[in-house]
Amino acid sequence: GLTRLDHVGIACRDLDASIEFYRSTYGFEVEHEEVNEEQGVREAMLRINGTDDGGATYLQLLEPTREDSPVAKFLARNGEGVHHLAFGTGDVAASAAGIGERGVRVLDSEPRTGTAGSRIVFLHPKDCGGVLTELVQSAH
């Protein structure tokens, strides 16, 4: 099952400016930064808290790397803001299969690679009350 909120993904036009806002306003620090070419993002993970199961909760700041990426399309339509929620699971394939059986469209037939080698799938926002939802199984 789903055990925690893993992260809130936030679309931004300027990753460095967004990182500086969260650092100077709230004191959140970058734990990890990477480029994910498959997803078309440059991203930073800012840890908010730890949890008993060893997972943590993050803000994921997302700057598009190309114009045809999901985050670029979102920014063009909506401007900067909350882009998706991600729930943590110990078995992303099993969680996605169970949710898919309930009629929710699973956008990835096989899990893809997310932050720091995690395995991720997305659920269609139109089947989730307008919320783009990600399921994530951390690498460790």
Q: Please report, as residue ranges, which positions from 56 to 115 form the binding site for ligand CMX (by CB under 6 A).
A: 60, 62, 70-71, 73-74, 77, 83-84, 107, 114-115
Choose the binding region for ligand CMX from 22-30, 50-58, 88-96, 128-136 (rule: CB under 6 A): 128-136
Pick the piece of the chain touching Co ion (CB under 5 A) from 10-18, 44-52, 54-62, 72-80: 54-62
Q: How far is CA 137 from CA 20, 43, 46, 48, 98, in A?
A: 28, 18, 18, 18, 15
Give yes or no for residue 129 binding ligand CMX (CB under 6 A).
no
Residue 9 as a binder of Co ion (CB under 5 A): the answer is yes
Q: How far apart, in whole angstroms, are the C-alpha atoms of residue 15 and residue 129? A: 28
Residues 6+ apart with CB under 8 A from 134: 6, 9, 84, 85, 86, 87, 114, 120, 121, 122, 123
Interacting residues toward ligand CMX by CB under 6 A: 9, 39, 41, 60, 62, 70-71, 73-74, 77, 83-84, 107, 114-115, 122, 125-126, 130, 132, 134
